[in-house]
């Protein structure tokens, strides 16, 4: 467009193409099929290219009642897992002309405060990870479409859910350790009242009950390396009650267990086997490298965003949990 000239409008495109403004809107909005001919659509696109016309997306979004912005609420920004979820969500969002606002729940879990003065006016929908659907009332109201990640499908109050197959991940861990010959287990459990952690505890207990002669103790821990170190050290301190394998809800808990074992003069995996869950970079930074369950965080975010787009378009989201896989490394071995 020459200097000093005005920005071309849809009326200019319509005049150049010899069609109505309504036809221009249909073609440039990709809603022309069955309503105008392909020849007309090509003529409109060519006129738009020659004039350098760009639709006014802000005005269009206002007419549609859309801001093309969604909110991703996560428990914390301190782990790479949620960074991966964000990366995956933004990748799919960008492909559809949406932006993603990232917002950590202030308390880590539970009710999230409204991050905007009027969130319902600023957002098209919400993707929320690892918290109860009814905790988002302040953000969602009864208006915003909602997709829940890592949440109980039966308790999501009608929201769409996207989950990793955590049950199968725990089953793979249990099967691996049982096959190695372990029968005395410690479950180092995240002390967060969240559905995903309840599933891990239930599945581990159910799987071990199927094998005669197994013992399972559970100890709660904050999701931090030092918190896990203290909890594991106390649980492993009594030689006569010491397990041969520690199943951790998270790779950070496993790293804390390594520290506890060293303080007690125990070697991993010679004296005690340890497993994690997540497959963070931490899993290959510790020695020996950690046997853990790999969760595809980016795919998780992609599926969450795709589900929200489906809801916005009135479609059913893709069904089925996202597969996970056990990665066997040096932290597990047969018990002595």
Q: What is the pTM of this model?
A: 0.76
pLDDT 10s digits, 154-211: 766 667 899 999 999 999 999 999 999 999 999 999 998 888 999 999 999 999 999 9
- Give the integer Cα–Cα distance in Å for 80 and 182: 31
| 328 occurs within a structural domain | no
Q: Are residues 234 and 288 in the same domain?
A: yes
- Kindly report the CATH number assigned to the domain that includes residue 157: 3.40.50.2300
Is residue 334, in this structure, part of any structural domain at all?
Answer: no
- Same domain, yes or no: 107 and 127: yes
Specify whether 118 is located in the same domain as 149.
Answer: yes
CA-CA distance, 98 to 112, in Å (whole number)? 23
In a domain, residue 207? The reply is yes
Cβ-based neighbour number of residue 102 at 10 Å:
16
Same domain for 193 and 272, yes or no, is yes
Inside any domain, residue 41: yes
Q: What are φ and ψ of residue 147, in 5° steps?
A: -120, 130
**Residue 154 and residue 214 share a domain:** no
Shared domain check, 47 and 115: no
**Residue 141, Ramachandran bin (φ over 0: left; ψ between -120 and 50: alpha; else beta):** left
Least confident of 73-87, 241-255, 267-281: 73-87
Number of domains in the chain: 3
The verdict on 198 and 311 lying in the same domain is no
pLDDT digits (tens, 9 = 90+) for 210-229: 999 999 999 999 989 999 99
What angle (nearest 5°) sits at the alpha carbon of residue 330, between those of residues 324 and 333? 95
Residue 247, CA atoms < 13 Å, CB-side half-sphere: 30
Residue with tokens 């931090």: 224
Q: Hey, CA dihedral for 132, 137, 140, 141, is it positive or negative? A: positive
Domain limits for position 95 = 67-163+298-320
212 shares a domain with 270:
yes
Q: Is residue 200 part of a domain?
A: yes
Residues 223 and 248 in one domain: yes
Q: Which DSSP string corresponds to 272-324?
A: -EEE-SB--THHHHSSSPPBEEE--HHHHHHHHHHHHHHHHTTPPPPPSPBP-
Residue 325 lies in a domain: no
**Residue 254 belongs to a domain:** yes
């Amino acid at each position: 467009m020459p200097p000093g000239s005005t920005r071309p409008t849809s009326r200019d495109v319509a005049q150049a193409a010899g069609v109505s403004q309504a036809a221009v809107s249909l073609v440039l909005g990709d809603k022309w099929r069955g309503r105008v001919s392909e020849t007309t659509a090509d003529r409109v696109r060519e006129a738009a290219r020659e004039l350098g016309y760009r639709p006014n997306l802000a005005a269009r979004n206002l007419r549609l009642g859309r801001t093309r912005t969604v909110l991703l609420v996560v428990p914390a920004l301190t782990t790479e897992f949620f960074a991966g979820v964000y990366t995956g969500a933004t990748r799919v969002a960008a492909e559809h002309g949406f932006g993603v606002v990232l917002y950590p729940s202030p308390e880590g879990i539970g009710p999230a405060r409204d991050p905007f003065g009027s969130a319902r006016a600023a957002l098209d929908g919400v993707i929320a990870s690892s918290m109860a659907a009814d905790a988002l009332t302040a953000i969602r109201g009864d208006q915003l479409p909602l997709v829940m990640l890592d949440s109980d499908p039966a308790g999501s109050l009608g929201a769409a859910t996207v989950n990793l197959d955590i049950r199968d991940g725990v089953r793979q861990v249990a099967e691996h350790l049982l096959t190695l010959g372990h029968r005395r287990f410690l479950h180092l459990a995240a002390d967060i009242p969240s559905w995903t952690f309840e599933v891990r505890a239930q599945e581990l207990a159910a799987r071990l009950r199927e094998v005669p002669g197994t013992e399972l103790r559970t100890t709660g821990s904050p999701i931090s390396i030092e918190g896990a170190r203290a909890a594991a050290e106390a649980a492993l301190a009594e030689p006569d009650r010491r397990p041969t394998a520690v199943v951790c809800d998270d790779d950070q808990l496993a790293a804390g267990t390594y520290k506890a074992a060293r303080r007690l003069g125990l070697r991993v995996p010679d004296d005690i086997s340890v497993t994690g869950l997540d497959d963070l970079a931490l899993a290959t930074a510790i020695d020996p490298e950690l046997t853990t369950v790999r969760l595809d965080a980016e795919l998780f975010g992609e599926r969450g965003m795709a589900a929200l787009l489906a809801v916005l378009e009135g479609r059913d989201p893709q069904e089925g949990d996202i597969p996970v896989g056990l990665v066997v490394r040096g932290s597990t071995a047969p018990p002595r």
